[in-house]
Amino acid sequence: MRVIPITVLTGFLGSGKTTLLNQLMKNTENENVVIIVNEYGDVGIDHALVLTNNQEQIFQMNNGCMCCVLREDLIDMFLAILQVAEKGPAAIDRIIIETSGLAEPSPIAQTIIRTPLLNEHFVVDSLITLVDAKNGFYQLEQYPEAIEQVAFADKIFLTKTDLADAQQIKSIKKELIKINPFVDIETLDLEAVAYQDIVGLDLFDRSIAGAKKAKTDIDHMMNNFTENRHQHKTYHIHDHPHEGPIHEAHHHIHTAVDSFVITCPTPLSEAQVISWLRMLISQYGMDLMRYKGILWIDGLQYQVVLQGVHMAYKLEEGQQWAQVAETKIVLIGKNLPQKEITEWLLHGHPKNISDRK
């Protein structure tokens, strides 16, 4: 059985996820699609809101926010889909997951990456985040979940732009770039969106393309970072509510989101990379939000593709080096010390990194 790609739709309450899902289901490009709807609380989503036909199946989890359910629940759900795929009359071409508006999408990616049986049969296609252009400022300021949805995104779509003026749209884009300076941000017309605009983008780690496009993806992210660098600063969430747009905090800091790039023009040893990854996991754990890159490993003629979410990561063989080899890694996380993390990878254990609590 071939690998089944998973597109994850996330975004805060009211950002338009269900409207988007309904629009996508009007034309699935003749694919057999499994829809997974996760609704916060005990009452499931109204089935009338999710369009379906005889070739689509709806898996619905009513036991709470997806980011809060037990990992075993996610595993069981995916295993059930595998059984349907193996015994069903038609192959399952794709899965689309609509998360709760109060969820962050990392448990889905972590579960697939860390579970051997699942990562043989499933791959995350893309994490797509919708942001309400009109109410995005308030949501980012008041709810850490909204910020995490942005930080984890492979692509961000601004919705409800018809309700916001040009300055509001410009300002919310600027705030999103502060959180995730690597990501592409586009506006989305929920009434005119096409299936291929959202599905099959293969942005998470380019696994569907066999990692052949991973270097292009990393280079594009780094170009975004360079272009946005003048706007990007450590992003702070205030720990108390107040009116107006989010400000760059100089006090009352609750959480900080950091984004940075590591490059190295010389080969790294395999032991060096493994030691560094173990350090990242042990020292920063759940504060690691997203990290991905192309690694130049000494003695190997091909790229090594790194993809990580929190404490789950994978390394896989990429394409042959066609140009000048170079290690390039992008990282997004909370309170990540760029200097120490970079020094560890390039030169070994920095003395002060063990001071982290």
Walk me through the domains of the chain, giving residue ranges and CATH numbers: 4-204 (3.40.50.300), 254-355 (3.30.1220.10)
pLDDT at position 212: 66
In this structure, are residues 78 and 6 in contact, taking their beta carbons and an 8 Å threshold? no
How does 40-51 read in b/e, with b if 16+ C-beta sit within 10 Å? beeeebeeeebe
Res 106: pLDDT: 87
Q: Which two tokens stand for residue 214?
A: 């991973």
**Tens of pLDDT, residues 154-186:** 999 999 999 999 999 999 999 999 999 999 999
256-292 pLDDT, tens digit each: 789 999 999 999 999 999 999 999 999 998 899 999 9
Report the DSSP beta bridge partners of residue 94.
33
Whether residue 190 contacts residue 159, with contact meaning beta carbons closer than 8 Å, is answered with yes
pLDDT at residue 256 in the model = 73
Residues 51, 201, 87: CA angle, nearest 5 degrees: 55
4: pLDDT confidence band, cut at 50, 70 and 90?
A: very high
Among 151, 154, 264, CA closest to 204: 154
| Contact between residue 285 and residue 277 where contact means Cβ atoms under 8 Å apart | no
Chain mean pLDDT for the chain: 81
DSSP 8-state secondary structure symbol assigned to residue 297: B
Task: Please report the beta strands in 184-295, taking only residues with DSSP state E, as ranges in sequence order.
Answer: 184-187, 235-238, 253-264, 288-295
Specify the pLDDT at position 286. Answer: 86
| Per-residue confidence (pLDDT) for residue 228, from 0 to 100 | 83
Say how far apart CA 146 and CA 166 lie, in whole Å: 22
3-state SS, residue 17: helix
What span, in angstroms and rounded, lies between the C-alpha atoms of 263 and 279? 18
For residue 289, give both structure tokens. 């939000």
Average pLDDT over residues 323-347: 92
Greater confidence (156 vs 335) lies with 156
C-alpha closest to that of 150 among 205, 106, 191, 215:
106
List all residues 6 or more positions away from 113 whose beta carbon is below 8 Å from its beta carbon: 119, 307, 308, 309, 312, 313, 314
- Please give the model's pTM, rounded to 2 decimal places: 0.84
How would residue 303 be classed by pLDDT, with cut points 50, 70 and 90?
very high
Structure tokens at 28: 């699935």
Q: For the residues 333-349, what does the mean pLDDT come to? A: 90
Phi first, then psi: give them for residue 217, nearest 5 degrees.
-65, -50
Over range 281-304, report the average pLDDT.
Answer: 93
Which residue did the predictor score with more confidence, 237 or 61? 61
Q: What is the pLDDT of residues 14-42, one digit of tens each?
A: 999 988 988 888 888 788 888 888 754 44
- Pair of tokens at residue 14: 């009211």
Q: How far apart (Å, rounded) are the C-alpha atoms in residues 145 and 297?
A: 36
The count of C-alpha atoms lying within 13 angstroms of the C-alpha of 321, restricted to the half-sphere facing its C-beta, is 17
81 pLDDT band (50/70/90 cuts)?
confident
CA dihedral sign of residues 145, 150, 155, 156: positive
Pairing of strands 288-295, 302-309: antiparallel
Q: How far apart are the first and last CA of the chain?
A: 45
pLDDT of residue 350: 61
Judge residue 172's burial from the number of C-beta atoms within 10 Å of its C-beta, 0-12 exposed, 13-18 middle, 19 or more buried.
buried
Helix (H, G, I), strand (E, B) or coil at 348: coil
Strand order, beta sheet including 312-320? 235-238, 253-264, 327-334, 288-295, 302-309, 312-320
Average pLDDT over residues 122-131: 95
